[in-house]
Amino acid sequence: MGKKKHGDDASIPIEIGSSDLGYLRGCRKKISKQDLLDIELTAPCFLDSIPCRTRSNRRVKSKNSISKQKSKLDSGSFECYFGTIWSHFPEDKRTLFTYLDCQWFAWYRKISYRDKVLSWIKRKEIFSKTYVLVPIVCWDHWSLLIFCHLGESLQSKTRTPCVLLLDSLQMSDPLRLEPDIRKFMFDIYKAEGRPENKQMIYKIPLLVPKVPQQRNGKECGNFVLYYIKLFVESAPENFSIEGYPYFMEKDWFHAEAVERFCERLDSTRKKD
């Protein structure tokens, strides 16, 4: 798949899933044929079998089930499985969390859609939540951002504003995304009209815990889904830098647990 260059972010490939065509149709600006050509699918996609964008009750066909996939999850598949996981969290957990669509970070990095993405995020009221889950896919690789206590004072010791970056392929240098993440956070604060200045926002700790790693080049999406499940189940009510990394260590879980999780997830989807 060729990489196209787009102005200021010419050196950054953008991976956008097929289901984002729905968002394109919802945008106020007129979409040209070139806009459609500029969108690169998160390879490889199962476009004929996973059409869902919203939280859907459609079943994923067994040949493309998460436990049997031979390729990485595309964005549509990820959204379907994430919706299943989210729906089974108890209400007391869901009140602490919210989440952003897995494509929004990639869309934000595309300058022509940046303002639209920021407006979507503003409607999520993320500063009222303890945690914000931000699954992202860049350079054909899935990872997980978690915003913690963004609505709290930057001087707080017990409810520390910080960002976690969970990556199952740390040999690829997760912090290569830091400039984009910092800019993303700054623009979110600015769009909300928050009083924090740029210098303060850029000092918010970005932490990369040494979490369990994938064993091959295809498991990153599965690992991100499992990170989400375990983090929501185990996250403290108040996240403090003093307690970091909490449970997020190399022996947090074994790779075999991811396989069993995927099998159970497929089974759950078939029943829903």
Which pLDDT score is estimated for 70? 60
Separation between Cα atoms, residue 124 and residue 24, nearest integer Å = 19
pLDDT: is 218 or 39 the higher one?
218
For residue 23, what pLDDT band results from cuts at 50, 70 and 90? very low
Distance of CA 189 to the CA centre of its chain: 18
Separation between Cα atoms, residue 71 and residue 223, nearest integer Å = 13
State yes or no: pLDDT of 263 exceeds 50. yes
Peptide bond into 245 cis (omega under 30): yes
State yes or no: pLDDT of 59 exceeds 60. no
Q: Tell me the per-residue pLDDT of 144-199, one tens digit each, with 9 for 90 and over.
A: 999 999 999 988 888 989 999 999 999 999 999 999 999 999 999 999 999 999 99
State yes or no: pLDDT of 243 exceeds 50. yes
**Could you count the other beta carbons within 10 Å of the beta carbon of residue 5?**
11
- pTM here is 0.77
